[in-house]
Chains A and B, each alone.
Chain A
Amino acid sequence: MEDLTSLKQEDNQEPEEAEQPWEEITAASSQDPVPGLPEPLESEQGPETGLQPGSSPPQSSQSRTSTPLNDLTGLGASSPPSFPQEPTSTPSTLALARQDLWSPWKSDKTTSVIPEARTAHSNHLEQSSDKGESAPHQKCQSEGNTFQQSQQTKHHLHEPKDASHNNSKLKELRLDIFQEEDSNSNYDLDHPEPGTSEVTPNMLEIAIQNAKAYLLKTSSKSGLNLYDHLSNMLTKILDERPENAVDIIENISQDVKMAHFSKKLDTLQNEYEMLPIYETAEKQKALFLQGNLEGADQELEDEIAENSLPNVMESAFYFEQAGVGLGTDETYRIFLALKQLTDAHPIQRCRFWGKILGLEMNYIVAEVEFREGEDEEEMEEEDVTEERDNGDSEADEDDEDELPKSLYKAPQAIPKEESRTGANKYVYFVCNEPGGPWVKLPSVTPAQIVIARKIKKFFTGRLDTPIISYPPFPGNESNYLRAQIARISAGTHVSPLGFYQFGEEEGEEEEEVEGGRESFEENPDFEGIQVTDLVESLSNWVHHVQHILPQGRCNWFNPVQKNEEEEEEEDEEKEEEEKGEEPDYIGQEVGPPLLTPISEDLEIQNIPPWTTRLSSNLIPQYAIAVLRSNLWPGAYAFSNGKKFENFYIGWGHKYSPDSYTPPVPPPVYQEYPSGPEITEMDDPSVEEEQAFRAAQAAAELAAEENEETEEDEDEEDEYD
């Protein structure tokens, strides 16, 4: 049977399309297998294998290769109009096939059950659909349209067989899986379910696939997809099994991502970032390397002998006990920076003055004293500025003579103190951060100090910032900084009583001249003061920096005297006037002399100017005395009885209980008082002129009577 039918088909295939009579014959011959479905199923098992050309070409013999072609052509020609159910059935099988192909891939051991259950459903459906298909064919046959029927049935017979064959194959596959996984029970459970939902599983499939496709979508930024990420995360969690994984799922997610990026995939984007931190490190590297640059041992010994570097770390240690100071590492960097400074300049004595905070950058301030005669640069600078001043004044004098000149003269410019004296006793260097370049601040002028007392400004951190203030400040931020440093030093630099004493020779000389001693030296016999005494009594602390007078100088400068010297050309009257106007200058300004105890400092509205304290109440025997200025918040001093140090850190502002108030505007100059030299007479009237002429005529007559010369008369005529 099998062979016969197949042979018939093969024989008839080519003519079938061309000539219909042939087809009738074949139809007649093929009618036999139609009524009984089981028979053709069985009988065509053989050809079926041949009908899978894609899957198994080697199995099919040469002669049978033509049959699939025939089938296809036949399908294309006639089946679509007459066979409405075929399209529905084939997609399902296709979907089924696809899904079955998916399932073994997708399914891990845990998830494999579900897809298989689905395949079971569709199988079931498939079978039912086969039955459904077969029923209408039989009806058609009964109607007797044999010609078409034959073809249709033939195709029909082929088609279901394809499906069933596929199914059977897949079933085998699935069964294999089942047997491997021993999950037949599920299959049985699902099987009894009726084929209620023929469409929904497919929708689910699509939805799931859509979702998965979405999850697999690669991010354009990172090139990752969420599907892999989630599976990586789950792998990590299952591998590591952390406690309460749900709480730290964000971290795990981040870790997984970080792990992914740990290896750079794209070498093209491997750019080297130049962060400022590297530049700073490079700068500071020089600080740490400078020690190696020094040469032989002898030089080292010499340097140690004439060491000008302060022991910053030691005082930092004490200040730390007091609860002030910078961090340890920053202090050490400053220490190294100071070493750099002392190496670069001929410095006799150096001290870490403190730190002034700024808006953009801060200032680290070092107080130094040059060796004798080695600070000439500064002198040259001064000369230059003086020359400039002279030039300006000359230009002013070139005005015209006729009109009255302005009598107003700027208040007497008080000259600044010489370097090494008064407020300019020390030279200050600043830098923004350790490792940065040290900048020498200019010396301070009295005018700057006077104005600085009236204004209150935040420092920006850039020395060339202009200071814009109401009493115009003569200079930029470097001058303001210098003025504040001078004020703070004068107010807050203190030492234990007895540590310094007046120099014997110099002191006396200057006493005669200036009326106050201005130099001191260390007392070699200083034996130290009990820390408790230092804490209990403020009179054990003394100022060792000169007080700055209201004039802006430490030493009195008499401006009146100078007037006489410089301006001899001026009228004496004017000088007298000035003296009369400014009686303040008569008295000399006097402040507290050097080494005055701080107990005599002025109070600020019932607030004591200093607070003393023991650094530790727990271990008082090793505690140190800490002094805090209430006038200049941020100024501290410590003493352990023998040693002491001063330190300032802050904004550089003086404390005042009330908010800062700007100074009052200067008085308005009064206008010239209205007097005889301002007011004028009325114009002469006619009567007055006539009277005047009459008087003149009378005078002429009198003159004639006096027989004056003709010449005189002529002159008089001319006048008329």
Chain B
Amino acid sequence: MDAESLLLSLELASGSGQGLSPDRRASLLTSLMLVKRDYRYDRVLFWGRILGLVADYYIAQGLSEDQLAPRKTLYSLNCMEWSLLPPATDEMMVQTSVVKGRFTGDPSHEYEHTELQKVNDGEKVFEEEVVVQIKEETRLVSIIDQIDKAVSVIPRGALFKTPFGPVHVNRTFEGLSLSQAKKLSSYFHFREPVELKNKTLLEKADLDPSLDFLDSLEHDIPKGSWSIQMERGNALVVLRSLLWPGLTFFHAPRTKNCGYIYVGTVNLVCFLLLLPLI
């Protein structure tokens, strides 16, 4: 959610029970402005909150003018002092994929993971236990990147692609219409498109190159990984990810108000077994 319209966004996203206490809200409003100034971001998003055992991580993201450019991620424990996280790499992801369980809330905490490594000692092959230490900060980077790539959402039309390539915020976006808001095809992944290149010409025929340059949610695998609900009558559409429970996307149809927030314990649910058979 945009840092500038934080209060309204929080109110809209409150249906999932994910709020911020008044002091956190006030401090975020203050500190994110300073972040925007100091880091010279074009736009600052309040990404969400990762619940740790001792403390919570508050995550914010800075966007440059090109909205799809790699984002800078910051975290804070007290909502005032922000630290920049390094960009996520594939190596990190492999490394941290072995860690399970909850975050502790201490960025310098080190998870210990024992691996069996084969060591050649002359002719004999030993299996040696090697203890790998993984910093929680690294895990944080990797998890945020995974969530962003998997479930960050933007409604169709909120961004547009300029003829020169960069993607900008669409000033003329007036929100989705009611009928569009109920369809998953009106929502895109807020990341570099992956699936789009694999589409056939026939599928691409109807796409508007300035708007349909992102991957649509409707082809997410597996099907049914999103819960889409109309709340408050039809005044608010809420998308909840079932892949990463805790991610809530909200959009008030016919207005510009939209955004997503992640609040939760980082727990990837193997939810195939959980879905009702339809």
Contacts and interface: CB of A to CB of B under 8 A. Distances in A.
A binds B: yes
Interface string B256-278: 00000000110111110111110
A250 B273 CA distance: 49
A363 B238 CA distance: 15
A360 interface: yes
A20 B126 CA distance: 133
Contacts, number: 125
B273 A660 contact: yes
Given A357-B240, A456-B274, A649-B17, A655 B178 contact: no
B128 to A, nearest CB: 25
Interface string A327-340: 11010000000000
B247 to A, nearest CB: 12
B36 to A, nearest CB: 22
B14 A254 contact: no
A89 B54 CA distance: 97
B21 A615 contact: yes
Contact of A651 (B18, B54, B234, B245): B245
* Chain A interface main SS type: loop
A297 B3 CA distance: 49
A357 B242 contact: no
A357 B270 CA distance: 18
Interface string B72-108: 0000001000000000000000000000111000000
Interface in B39-70: 51, 53-54
A325 B78 CA distance: 20
A325 B20 CA distance: 9
Interface in A342-368: 355, 357-362
A168 B189 CA distance: 72
Given A360-B227, A457-B274, A250 B22 contact: no
B232 A607 contact: no
Contacts of B101: 605-607, 657
Contact of B275 (A251, A275, A326, A458): A458
Interface in B4-41: 11-12, 14-24
Interface stretch (A38-46, A204-212, A316-324): A316-324
Contacts of A458: 227, 242, 271, 274-276
B21 A616 contact: yes
A633 B100 contact: no
B79 to A, nearest CB: 10
Could you say which of B53, B234, B269, B276 has the most chain A C-beta atoms within 10 Å of its C-beta?
B276
Contacts of A653: 245, 269, 274
B19 A323 contact: yes
Contact of A457 (B18, B230, B276): B276
B53 A655 contact: no
Nearest to B25: A323
A701 interface: no
Interface residues of B, number: 46
Interface residues of A, number: 60
Given A660-B270, A660-B274, A250 B17 contact: no
A659 B269 contact: yes
Contacts of A662: 273
A356 to B, nearest CB: 10
Contact of B264 (A276, A328, A633): A633
A322 B267 CA distance: 22
B276 A359 contact: yes
A396 interface: no
B17 A634 contact: yes
A325 B14 contact: yes
Interface string A269-284: 0000001111111000
Contacts of A658: 100
B229 interface: yes
Given A250-B172, A456-B273, A457-B274, A630 B53 contact: yes
Contacts of B231: 433
List 8 A-B pairs, minimum CB-CB distance, nearest first: A277-B233, A649-B17, A280-B233, A327-B14, A659-B270, A323-B21, A359-B227, A657-B101
6 contacts: A251-B171, A320-B22, A323-B21, A324-B17, A327-B15, A608-B53
Given A323-B20, A357-B227, A607-B102, 18 more contacts: A251-B172, A320-B22, A323-B24, A327-B12, A327-B19, A328-B11, A330-B14, A358-B227, A458-B276, A611-B53, A617-B78, A633-B265, A653-B269, A655-B267, A657-B101, A659-B268, A659-B269, A660-B270
